[in-house]
A = this chain, B = another copy of it.
Amino acid sequence: MNESVNVAVIGAGRIGRLHAAHLAHRIEGARLTAISDVRLEAARECAEQLNIPEVFQDHRKILDDPQVQAVVICSSTDTHASLIAEAAAAGKHIFCEKPIALDLKRIDDALAAVEAAGVKLQVGFNRRFDANFSRMREVIREGQLGDLHILRITSRDPAPPPIEYIKVSGGIFLDMMIHDFDMARYLVGDEVEKVFAVGAVRIDPEIGKAGDIDTAVVTLQFANGCLATIDNSRRAVYGYDQRVEAFGSEGMINAENETPTRLRLSTSEAAREDLPLYFFVERYTESYLTEMRAFLDCIRQDTEPPVTGVDARVPVVMGKAARLSFEQNRPVAVAEIK
């Protein structure tokens, strides 16, 4: 039953190496056959560490290999859409890191190519696969909260990314809050109609000079009547803050932060506990494993991927709506974004 799937990784940066390591050692039923990177040296180093049989600079070598059944796209964001189209044309199943693109036309073209080729596409909204949030969704689906009235998401990074990244990332609503938009849709199980965003530069004026903000609060109105707030900060000095709360007619569920230990130290000063796990690699390791296992399962069992093309597209639209709302200081209908 658990026939192995031959997988290759495109892009040997941080997230590419992470997926490669998982595919090499921790995902049953995957055979990692190749890795490519435009910086050949990066691919080679990774291949040596993980005993990956083949290494390339040119991803087309991977797409031309008939034995490769699936590719994991971890290259820079601006290459995602065209790589998806190429891989789909080559008949490969595709796992792609988010976002597909910042431009909706490019996303739509990529999704059309996937559709035409009849291959699987799963996008890397890994937080859905975290034990806390997937269980929270089950609780909601099972009706334990009754009708959902209010959703609150707090999502704060321990430190801002480099300014160079911010300049090309699309800004806080597309590089950071996009995860929270996805989480909101995932948990509420419905679509957002209106977005209202406020924000400010509070942490680093350089972020402002790059045209972005570092602190943002967004209100979402869902079609089903649920109201949601998301707050983002690019720097929480106490670490990666990833909390969600869902409130409904029959109850509330909260996900608190995960910590390295469950120790509590009481001295004459205070009772002290651990800060949250530092950042996404520490916090979400298990979710990266689970999402990749889910991807392979949907290939082997020929089922719908748990994160679809629509799931990839809508948060980008929401991010654009949030940006427009922030710029124009007014609530923006998601339908306004074309």
Chain A residues within 8 Å of B, Cβ to Cβ: 25-26, 131-132, 135-136, 139, 144, 147, 149-150, 152, 154, 156, 194, 196, 198-200, 202-203, 215-217, 219, 221, 225, 227-229, 231, 233, 235-238, 241, 247, 249-258, 260-268, 270-275, 329-331
Contact = CB atoms under 8 A, between A and B. Distances in A.
Contact of A236 (B199, B228, B252): B252
Contacts of A241: 252
Given A150-B215, A217-B219, A237-B249, A262 B271 contact: no
A136 B215 CA distance: 22
Contacts of A217: 150, 219, 227-229
- Stoichiometry (number of copies): 4
A250 B250 CA distance: 28
Contacts of A139: 263, 265
Contacts of A202: 147, 149, 225, 249
A265 B249 contact: no
A83 B203 CA distance: 49
A231 B233 contact: no
A249 B268 CA distance: 10
5 contacts: A149-B233, A150-B215, A256-B263, A268-B275, A272-B272
Given A25-B25, A233-B150, A265-B144, A271 B221 contact: no
B262 A253 contact: no
A326 B12 CA distance: 49
B267 A256 contact: no
A270 B273 contact: yes
A229 B227 contact: no
A250 B235 CA distance: 10
Which 5 interchain pairs have the tightest Cβ spacing?
A251-B267, A238-B266, A25-B25, A256-B262, A270-B272
Contacts of A233: 149-150, 247
A69 to B, nearest CB: 20
A272 B253 CA distance: 9
Contact of A257 (B147, B198, B262, B265): B262
B271 A272 contact: yes
Contacts of A132: 261-263
Nearest to A197: B219
Contacts of A231: 150, 152, 227, 229, 247
